[in-house]
């Protein structure tokens, strides 16, 4: 595999592409700055998608846009090669009212979303231009652009939608999400379930209505039980209550409260087992809270000290609502899979030591879970702080990183007259 990349790297067309990317660096960075100022919270990417489309069309690319606003163009190969889909995600984790302003401090450009994953969008535009203008003849077909819904509650709906279409499922042989910072290869997909769990009752006075099953107490019981769940190290399986919310005042029985829950595993069976156990923790907790106050004469005498004045509201029980907000499939690939080996060989040829990760939660989960080889590969340039308001990006080394990605795509799809594709055509 290294030989393939070494051969392509010596082609005049590749050298021209690397030069073009370098010359294009400033323009690419300008486009990145334009894109990052358009809010694009997951499931609200439409305006940014429209602008991305405009940028592509302004350069003469024929754009396809599906009903969820994934946008991409197809670069046809000479024939006989595989089809590769390369994409960056249009969405960010930042709600629409997050102030967006680019501040430069010592060569670092601060703005929410500037790295994750807006820089990949600009880089993919630069790659489109380089494939068009370098004269390189790919054997296989390239689909390249931006997709919606990677982050959080976007729940991968963009790439999920892309692969829900029979024609894409039938034609695509490999997938690369340009995401993550620096040289990196994420080749496994951690599966996850995410939930909003709500507890409610009529609510009332902490004293006057004492004895009414308490939603917050039920939630506390549930979290206590969840905290004691044991999950395997192998495959790595985790859970967390990430957010809790609810209550009215210190002297109230709350009407409602809720928590957000994340359960993850690298194994499908283990994910489902942890899920089942945690769901039981929650339903048991609610049953226990309701039973705690049930109408039982002896119980009251003992518990309330006043048999003649039984607890007035014990028949109002805590209601439970569990909403699934995320369902990311588990996908497993090994270091021996051709697409993974190719990416590692590329970095070796380029003298880079990539960070490898077998358990990411990225857009690549979807193709991998469908049996389509997939990776998330790091964006180029420098940066840190993704998902925080202190996120920054620096274009230092951006063009060089783009050239590496260009080389990887050439290797996977093959170059007419010079190199056979490293990405196998799938049996469909």
Residue 81 CB, nearest approach to Zn ion (Å): 28
**Which C-beta is closer to Zn ion: that of 21 or that of 93?**
93
Residue 116 CB, nearest approach to Zn ion (Å): 4
**Which C-beta is closer to Zn ion: that of 93 or that of 317?**
93
Residue 14 CB, nearest approach to Zn ion (Å): 28
Q: How far apart are CA 421 and CA 417, in angstroms?
A: 11
Single out the residue of 206, 244, 203, 238 nearest to residue 223, CA to CA. 244
The region of 100-108, 171-179, 298-306, 405-413 touching Zn ion under the rule CB under 5 A is 171-179
Q: How far apart are CA 401 and CA 14, in angstroms?
A: 14
Of 25, 116, 173, 391, the one binding Zn ion (CB under 5 A) is 116
The region of 39-47, 172-180, 296-304, 350-358 touching Zn ion under the rule CB under 5 A is 172-180
Contact between 117 and Zn ion by CB under 5 A: the answer reads yes
**Which C-beta is closer to Zn ion: that of 117 or that of 270?**
117
Residues between 80 and 109 with contacts to Zn ion, criterion CB under 5 A = none
**Which C-beta is closer to Zn ion: that of 329 or that of 338?**
329
First to last CA, the chain: 24
Alpha helices by DSSP H, listed for 25-106, are 25-36, 46-58
Pairing mode, strands 319-328 and 191-200:
antiparallel
The region of 72-80, 115-123, 165-173, 377-385 touching Zn ion under the rule CB under 5 A is 115-123
Residue 298 CB, nearest approach to Zn ion (Å): 58
Of 179, 209, 289, 402, the one binding Zn ion (CB under 5 A) is 179
Residue 379 CB, nearest approach to Zn ion (Å): 9
Q: If you search the block for the tokens 């290797």, which residue do you land on?
A: 411
**8 Å CB contact between 98 and 112:** yes
**Helix (H) / strand (E) containing 73:** strand 71-75
State both tokens at 338: 């051709």
The region of 55-63, 174-182, 206-214, 269-277 touching Zn ion under the rule CB under 5 A is 174-182
Q: How far apart are CA 169 and CA 374, in angstroms?
A: 13
The region of 79-87, 117-125, 225-233, 317-325 touching Zn ion under the rule CB under 5 A is 117-125
Residue 202 CB, nearest approach to Zn ion (Å): 43
Buried b (16+ CB within 10 A) or exposed e, 336-368: ebbbbebbbbbbebbeeebebebbbbbbbbbbb
**Which C-beta is closer to Zn ion: that of 82 or that of 154?**
154
Pairing mode, strands 184-186 and 355-357:
parallel
Contact between 391 and Zn ion by CB under 5 A: the answer reads no
**Which C-beta is closer to Zn ion: that of 129 or that of 379?**
379
Q: If you search the block for the tokens 């899920």, which residue do you land on?
A: 275
Residue 150 CB, nearest approach to Zn ion (Å): 6
**Which C-beta is closer to Zn ion: that of 177 or that of 275?**
177
The count of chain residues that interact with Zn ion, using the rule CB under 5 A, is 3
**Which C-beta is closer to Zn ion: that of 4 or that of 147?**
147
Contact between 262 and Zn ion by CB under 5 A: the answer reads no
**8 Å CB contact between 177 and 360:** no
Please provide the DSSP assignment of 225-267 as one string. Answer: HHHT----TTTTEEEEEEEEEE---TTEE-SEEEEEEEEEESS
The region of 103-111, 116-124, 215-223, 346-354 touching Zn ion under the rule CB under 5 A is 116-124
**Which C-beta is closer to Zn ion: that of 116 or that of 262?**
116
Pairing mode, strands 71-75 and 64-65:
antiparallel
Pairing mode, strands 174-181 and 374-379:
parallel
State both tokens at 123: 């880089």
**Which C-beta is closer to Zn ion: that of 121 or that of 415?**
121
Partners of residue 324 on adjacent β-strands: 195
Residue 414 CB, nearest approach to Zn ion (Å): 29
Residues that bind Zn ion (CB under 5 A): 116-117, 179
């Amino acid at each position: 595999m290294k030989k393939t990349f070494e051969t392509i790297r010596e082609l005049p067309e590749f050298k021209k592409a690397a030069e073009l990317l370098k010359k294009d660096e400033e323009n690419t960075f300008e486009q990145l700055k334009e894109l990052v100022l358009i809010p694009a919270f997951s499931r609200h990417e439409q305006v940014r998608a429209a602008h991305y489309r405009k940028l592509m069309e302004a350069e003469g690319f024929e754009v396809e846009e599906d009903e969820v606003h994934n946008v991409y163009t197809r670069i046809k190969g000479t024939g006989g090669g595989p089809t590769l889909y390369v994409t960056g995600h249009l969405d960010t984790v930042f709600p629409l009212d997050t102030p967006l302003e680019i501040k430069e401090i010592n060569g670092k450009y601060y703005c929410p979303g500037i790295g994750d994953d807006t820089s990949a969008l600009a880089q993919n535009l630069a790659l489109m231009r380089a494939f068009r203008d370098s004269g390189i003849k790919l054997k296989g077909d390239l689909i390249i652009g931006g997709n919606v819904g990677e982050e959080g509650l976007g729940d991968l709906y963009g790439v999920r939608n892309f692969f829900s279409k029979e024609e894409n499922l039938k034609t695509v042989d490999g997938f690369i999400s340009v995401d993550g910072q620096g040289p990196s290869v994420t080749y496994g997909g951690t599966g996850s379930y995410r939930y909003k769990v709500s507890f409610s009752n009529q609510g009332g006075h902490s004293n006057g209505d004492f004895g009414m099953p308490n939603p917050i107490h039920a939630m506390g019981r549930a979290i206590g039980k969840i905290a004691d769940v044991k999950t395997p190290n192998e495959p790595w399986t985790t859970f967390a209550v990430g957010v809790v919310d609810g209550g009215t005042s210190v002297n109230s029985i709350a009407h409602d409260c809720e928590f957000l829950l994340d359960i993850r595993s690298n194994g499908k069976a283990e994910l489902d087992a942890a899920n089942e156990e945690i769901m039981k923790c929650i339903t048991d907790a609610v049953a226990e809270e309701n039973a705690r106050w049930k109408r039982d004469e002896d119980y009251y005498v003992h518990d309330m000290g006043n048999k003649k004045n039984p607890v007035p509201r014990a028949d109002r029980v805590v209601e439970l609502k569990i909403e699934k907000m995320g369902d990311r499939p588990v996908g497993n690939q090994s270091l021996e899979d051709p697409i993974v080996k190719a990416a590692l060989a590329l970095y070796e040829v380029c003298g880079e030591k990539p960070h490898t990760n077998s358990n990411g939660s990225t857009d690549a989960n979807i193709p991998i879970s469908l049996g389509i080889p997939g990776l998330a590969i790091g964006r180029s340039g420098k940066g840190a702080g993704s998902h925080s308001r202190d996120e920054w990006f620096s274009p230092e080394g951006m063009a060089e990183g783009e050239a590496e990605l260009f080389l990887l795509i050439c290797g996977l799809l093959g170059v007419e007259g010079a190199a056979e594709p490293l990405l196998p055509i799938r049996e469909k």
